[in-house]
Chain A
């Protein structure tokens, strides 16, 4: 039972990070039907910015959780700026182009950002400080669920609640939903579609940056390549849950996290990825639009 719980929380932690990143993929896809392949790189940039902020903060004598919060805020601002610029530079000029063009542009930006960080920073692995302290009250269960896992779970949960509120309750959220349903109609009723698209990129990037900071302080290392691998997994999660669906991204992330954790724990970590992608194939065979995805009729 204890072993089951250990794997359960391990999978939950991993899955909630996947979910956080998957939200960015799914939101962007929902609005402009683009797979933003550079999204993983935003996650990586978030982690790097946090590393730099953490370094500076340590010099000024701040410590632990206060650095984490400050680093996360600055990483979110930076990553949002990157997301906004990315959309402006790489996708907006291609708005009317065939769907493959922005996709290629996205892959190009992904390669560009990776190599930019490689050149501007380093190709090596860098140590990321342990910003999440070990809380004393977690010590009895630390081997099942430690303080970092707790912080990750609480943060992702709060973030997702805020996102849901934003989309369901605010005017901006309503505009986003309208744009998702029908961009032309939304424009006709006075929604500034370009602004909403920019905002979607900003929100998605902010979520990715939060994910980046959390993972980096949990794992303790960053590298220019982490975004690619995390991005692939999160994209899988988004597809699994039904791309374009926000609850689907969260569910997809969690299912993926658990699948990996239990497959590695009960079967063999040799076949971790085999089970994950086997599950993806299975679900897509049964429900081609993903678990919560709605098969949309192509508008002609």
Chain B
């Protein structure tokens, strides 16, 4: 019995030696993210997406004549673990990395990849400075950053609606205030618009008549609201009750059927940003179907973004003709690729062009995507 165990161990060792021996002939795609712990549901779908993509690519003969090998590492979304994960992936010789998932972990790991000249692409890290600071030229992402919505809402208000005076209101929460802060920043930077009011309201307050009157008094042509639908529906109802003609513009937290239901007629004519409607993209449905065939369940968070990132990374290597850092990052910035989140390439800072949000409006009690 003991001999058999020894034999098996020896064989296993020998086999692993063989793998190492052939290592130079594979393209190594690192995948880092939370695969255990309470945040695992955010990391596992992207990991499975990578597995599906790699399986398909390898079945079709690989890339540049080489098979793709996955190096999967768990970072539990913790920055201190993420640095170890990154070091491990670098020592294992990863050519490109899909990850990390959480913004904090991504930020901690990025420096290590940068020094090792490895392109990194996150399907989910939305923290704006990751790309905008310019500190990480090796970083890309297939999801829109947190401030994209605010930028879109502000551009829409200035360019499409042509307003000159804007009131910005938020619900004092992380999400709502974050949106409102960015909106104010972009409004101020534009130089064309005056922010006449910037205030927080208390969620769940009995009514918002004071703030509505204040918006009127300041003669705001548009009201940009950062927050969720219960407050938004109260605001639009009270604005219509007070005969206020101010245009209401809000965020993804308001683009919810509850807003239509609760605000009723008052919701008509309101604008809000929301994720682009991806259901029309053929690859999106195909990726979901592939996942369901393999696992018999719904894909989960960041699956489409993860799938897109894996496709984009491998496509860039193929277009670059090598795994050379400069060539690959250049390909990511210049070559379009068809993915489940649309036909994308990356801008100079690493954000995916064409990914993200659209402006919606409410027409006859239903959301309608503009542009």
Contacts and interface: CB of A to CB of B under 8 A. Distances in A.
A269 B201 contact: yes
Interface string B279-318: 0000000000000000000000000000000000000000
A146 B241 contact: yes
Contacts of A6: 209, 213, 216
Interface stretch (B11-19, B30-38, B47-55, B230-238): B230-238
A265 B204 contact: no
A233 B217 contact: no
B206 A14 contact: yes
Q: Main secondary structure on chain B at its contact with chain A?
A: helix
A235 to B, nearest CB: 14
B364 interface: no
A132 to B, nearest CB: 10
A125 B262 contact: yes
A127 B209 contact: no
B211 A221 contact: no
Interface in A186-228: 215, 218-221, 223, 225-226
A114 B201 CA distance: 24
Interface in B241-273: 241-244, 258, 261-264, 266
A220 B233 contact: yes
Interface residues of B, number: 32
A233 B199 CA distance: 21
A151 interface: no
B217 A3 contact: yes
B206 A215 contact: yes
A17 B266 CA distance: 24
B200 A270 contact: yes
B172 interface: yes
Given A124-B258, A229-B204, A142 B242 contact: yes
Contacts of A218: 207
Nearest to A148: B241
Nearest to B241: A146
A275 B263 CA distance: 30
Contacts of A268: 199
A230 to B, nearest CB: 6
A11 B213 CA distance: 12
B205 interface: yes
B217 A14 contact: no
Interface string B211-236: 10110110000000000011001100
B210 interface: yes
A143 B258 contact: no
A269 B210 contact: yes
A225 B211 CA distance: 22
Contacts of B229: 125
Contacts of A110: none
A269 B204 contact: no
B202 interface: yes
Contact of A17 (B200, B206, B213): B206
A126 interface: yes
A10 interface: yes
Nearest to B233: A221
A127 B264 contact: yes
Interface in B162-211: 172, 199-202, 204-207, 209-211
A89 B199 CA distance: 45
Given A14-B207, A220-B237, A226-B204, A264 B243 contact: no
Contacts of A179: none
A233 B263 CA distance: 25
A180 interface: no
A292 to B, nearest CB: 23
B262 A220 contact: yes
B214 A264 contact: yes
A219 B213 contact: no
Given A125-B229, A125-B233, A220-B234, A269 B263 contact: no
A130 B240 CA distance: 12
A223 B216 CA distance: 28
Nearest to A17: B206
A221 B204 contact: no
A58 to B, nearest CB: 13
Interface in A99-131: 124-127, 130
A69 to B, nearest CB: 21
A273 B202 contact: yes
A215 B206 CA distance: 8
Contacts of B209: 6, 10, 13-14, 261
Interface string B301-344: 00000000000000000000000000000000000000000000
A233 B214 CA distance: 23
A260 interface: yes
A246 interface: no
Contacts of A262: 210
Contacts of A261: 209-210
Interface of B: 172, 199-202, 204-207, 209-211, 213-214, 216-217, 229-230, 233-234, 237-238, 241-244, 258, 261-264, 266
5 contacts: A6-B213, A17-B206, A127-B264, A143-B242, A221-B234
Interface of A: 3, 6-7, 10-11, 13-14, 17, 124-127, 130, 142-143, 146, 148, 215, 218-221, 223, 225-226, 229-230, 233, 260-262, 264-265, 268-270, 272-273
Given A226-B204, A229-B205, 18 more contacts: A7-B210, A10-B207, A14-B209, A124-B258, A127-B264, A142-B242, A143-B216, A143-B242, A146-B241, A219-B206, A219-B207, A219-B238, A220-B264, A229-B206, A264-B210, A269-B211, A269-B214, A270-B200
- 9 closest cross-chain pairs (CB), A and B: A264-B210, A10-B209, A6-B213, A127-B262, A270-B200, A265-B210, A229-B204, A220-B237, A221-B262
